[in-house]
Amino acid sequence: MAQTSGQLGFYFLLICAHGLVDEWKVLNHCHRAKFAGYKHGNRANCLKGTRESVLDEIEQWAEDFEEPCVYWLNGLAGTGKSTIAQTIAERVCANGHLGASFFCSRDIADRSDLQLIFPTLAFQLAQNYPSFRSSLVPLLQSNPDIVGESLQAQMQSLIVEPLLSARISTVVLVDALDECKGEYPQSAFLRALGESVSEIPGVKFFITSRPEKDIVAGFSDLELELCKKTFLLHMVDRHTVDSDIHLFFEHELSRLSPKCNGIKGWPTDEQLNSLCQRAAGLFVYAVATVKFLDHGFRSPSHQLNAIMASPESTVYEGGVELKPYASLDSLYLSILKEAFNRYSAEDHEMIQSVLCTVILAYNPLSPTMISAILGFECNEVLSILESIQSLLVLHDDSKKPVQPFHKSFPDFIMNPTRCVDTRFSISPDHHIKLALHCIKLLDEFPEKNGWLISSDLPPAELDELEKRIEKSDVYKALVYAHSSWYQHLATSKYPTADVLSALSHFLKQKFLFWAAMISPSVAVNALNVAILWLIKVTPNIDMGLTQSLRIIEKKSQWLLGSFRLRMLLHPSSLITGISNLAQEFQQVIGLELLKITNNG
């Protein structure tokens, strides 16, 4: 009998385990942003002894469920919002109250997509709370396409309904909401939150962002106005902020002092006080300064002298207009000049191309991928990146992605009124150059690199070769080019003859190859976007060509709408449809190119 009971117990556990596996199968099919939680990334937390008052207030709010259920940490760029959010996430998690976190990032496509915030939060809540998971899975099974629905529908189905069933108390954190973009404005996320948050009183939402117009408007909606608490980080007493920044400088520069060749008393009190004054209340200035001192090819003392020699920008101009980023701009420009002043004018074109790619790429690219896309040697790209590594997240492994260390650097370098040196200033117009590089890369492969794979190879060798190719950075660069050339094109404001010529050749020779090789659905969407772009940026295009483009655009929309069914039932007709579309579009581009050439 005991054996029978043991067997029953074993089968019961087996059934439970099988059910759990089935639940995770459903959850893993839910589209979400990977690596968006607080445990991923290289974010630092607050230095001990700094930010104590704001951290204490937020922790008290998180533990007191009589407090408003939404907390908005509102601060200008560079005031330390993400560092505070990281610290709060770690502390609340240590207390067992953190249910989910989403750290938005403009540099990473899925972490800047508003449509993925609620699905990602729901997935993490399901990881942390079995009762939530048990309620969420049936909802996903009944509506697997919920990720594509409105933010209000997502909030209700993925967050509210499972939380009501699970009856849990938890804290949910969303950092840098201002870095999201896409079909919906950020206020749409806040509106969805405001409409439903009162239904789940045991759940608290901690949100950080810059005070951008759309977000301020979203938080001003009546539903959120009644249940939110706001902390203005940039309005904290300046003396308190300066004391924290001074403590940070003391801690970090004492760590660097052994590298100063035995200089006693480095840094001096005068230098520390000057750095704090230059920081102008911005923690990002302090972080960027330390990175510059630590990563230069010269000693920290030499690097610090270079900063001290640069103009000490004032916060006020003419005693009237507040310029909160004047000191930061001066620092960034000093770092760029220190790194690149020794280069020739010809080199500066290469420098700007590399900077453009790092700043404008839709997903972070590794140095080896950048070299493949731009056609430069990898050591040339690395040399440029290493010269300004204090402004970047740059790894020892050249196969790992590189990105700006803080969003204030792209803000600076893309604003011509702030980055006044035209050698470094980057304009959105540079997207057209990236589009051209992506198109050329696709057009020149595989012949240029000897990647034509012989069908005579034995199956095992063929399979092994394909796996090696797919793991290579060159292949990853090709995947990026295939999925992004049309996005860069769509951001451009004008067509150029070289871009139209390259696009025409690509559509004629290689478009179908890459559509079949990587993704037919991306190819159809790319055609649709490119057609709409050409209509938009050529207002003087002939009426006949416009009508032709409109007809092709309608065909591409129809092909997109029937894509899934065709893929299942008639894949060959799908490829034929893509081929015909590309051919028609290429002919129109050829006519427009001829007109531009004749007019030129």
User: Same structural domain for residues 364 and 505?
Assistant: no
What's the DSSP call for residue 59?
A: H
Residue 219 lies in a domain: yes
Residue 1 lies in a domain: no
Comparing 6 with 582, the larger pLDDT belongs to 582
User: Same structural domain for residues 488 and 525?
Assistant: yes
Comparing 558 with 250, the larger pLDDT belongs to 250
pLDDT at 372 over 60: yes
User: Same structural domain for residues 553 and 453?
Assistant: yes
Q: What is the pLDDT of residue 205?
A: 98
pLDDT at 556 over 70: no
For 139, how many CA atoms within 13 A lie in the half-sphere containing its CB? 24
Question: What CATH code is carried by the domain that includes residue 56?
Answer: 3.40.50.300
Comparing 597 with 389, the larger pLDDT belongs to 389
Q: What is the pLDDT of residue 516?
A: 74
Q: What's the average model confidence in pLDDT over 157-174? A: 95
User: Same structural domain for residues 81 and 168?
Assistant: yes
User: Same structural domain for residues 442 and 416?
Assistant: no
Q: What is the pLDDT of residue 496?
A: 83
pLDDT at 59 over 50: yes
Residue 371 lies in a domain: yes
**Residues ≥6 apart with Cβ < 8 Å to 215:** 177, 178, 186, 187, 190, 209
User: Same structural domain for residues 408 and 487?
Assistant: no
Q: What is the pLDDT of residue 553?
A: 65
User: Same structural domain for residues 273 and 231?
Assistant: no
Comparing 597 with 505, the larger pLDDT belongs to 505
Find the domain containing 261 and state its range.
238-342
Q: Among the three residues 319, 342, 365, which one is the final residue of a domain in this structure?
A: 342
Q: Among the three residues 235, 265, 288, which one is the final residue of a domain in this structure?
A: 235
Q: What is the pLDDT of residue 2?
A: 47
Q: Average pLDDT over the chain, rounded to whole?
A: 84
User: Same structural domain for residues 371 and 468?
Assistant: no
Residue 90 lies in a domain: yes
Q: Which two tokens stand for residue 49?
A: 């002894």
Q: What's the average model confidence in pLDDT over 353-375? A: 95
Residues 42 and 108 sit within 8 Å (Cβ to Cβ)? no
Residue 403 lies in a domain: yes
Q: What is the pLDDT of residue 103?
A: 97
Residues 221 and 62 sit within 8 Å (Cβ to Cβ)? no
Q: What is the pLDDT of residue 468?
A: 62
pLDDT at 1 over 80: no
Query: 12: pLDDT confidence band, cut at 50, 70 and 90?
Result: very low
Q: What's the average model confidence in pLDDT over 137-149? A: 87
Rg (CA), the chain: 27
Q: What is the pLDDT of residue 322?
A: 46
Residues 218 and 190 sit within 8 Å (Cβ to Cβ)? yes
Query: 319: pLDDT confidence band, cut at 50, 70 and 90?
Result: very low
pLDDT at 494 over 60: yes
Residues 566 and 584 sit within 8 Å (Cβ to Cβ)? no
Percentage of the chain lying above the pLDDT 70 cut = 81
Cα–Cα distance measured from residue 365 to residue 369, given in angstroms and rounded to the nearest whole number: 6
Q: What's the average model confidence in pLDDT over 53-65? A: 95
What is the DSSP annotation of 545-583? HHHHHHHHHHHHHHHHHTHHHHHHH-HHHHHHHHHHHHH
Q: Among the three residues 398, 426, 454, which one is the final residue of a domain in this structure?
A: 426
Q: What is the pLDDT of residue 226?
A: 87
595: left (phi over 0), alpha (psi -120 to 50) or beta: alpha
User: Same structural domain for residues 214 and 79?
Assistant: yes
Q: At what angle do helices 473-491 and 459-471 cross, to 10 degrees?
A: 50
Question: What CATH code is carried by the domain that includes residue 392?
Answer: 1.10.10
Residue 252 lies in a domain: yes
Q: What is the pLDDT of residue 14?
A: 42
Q: What is the pLDDT of residue 75?
A: 94
Residue 15 lies in a domain: no
Q: What is the pLDDT of residue 10?
A: 44
pLDDT at 41 over 90: no
User: Same structural domain for residues 406 and 503?
Assistant: no
User: Same structural domain for residues 59 and 144?
Assistant: yes
Which tens digits make up the pLDDT trace of 14-29? 444 444 557 778 888 7
How many independent structural domains does the chain possess? Answer: 4
Query: 61: pLDDT confidence band, cut at 50, 70 and 90?
Result: very high
Q: What's the average model confidence in pLDDT over 115-129? A: 96
Q: Which two tokens stand for residue 366?
A: 């590794």
pLDDT at 86 over 80: yes
What's the DSSP call for residue 452?
A: P
Beta strand 392-393 with 403-404 is antiparallel
User: Same structural domain for residues 494 and 537?
Assistant: yes
pLDDT at 600 over 70: no
Residue 313 lies in a domain: yes
Question: How far, in Å, are 58, 408, 483, 532 from residue 578 at the CA level?
Answer: 54, 41, 16, 16
Which tens digits make up the pLDDT trace of 195-236? 999 999 899 999 999 999 999 999 998 889 889 999 999 899
**Residues ≥6 apart with Cβ < 8 Å to 88:** 55, 58, 59, 62, 173, 206
- pTM, entire model: 0.81
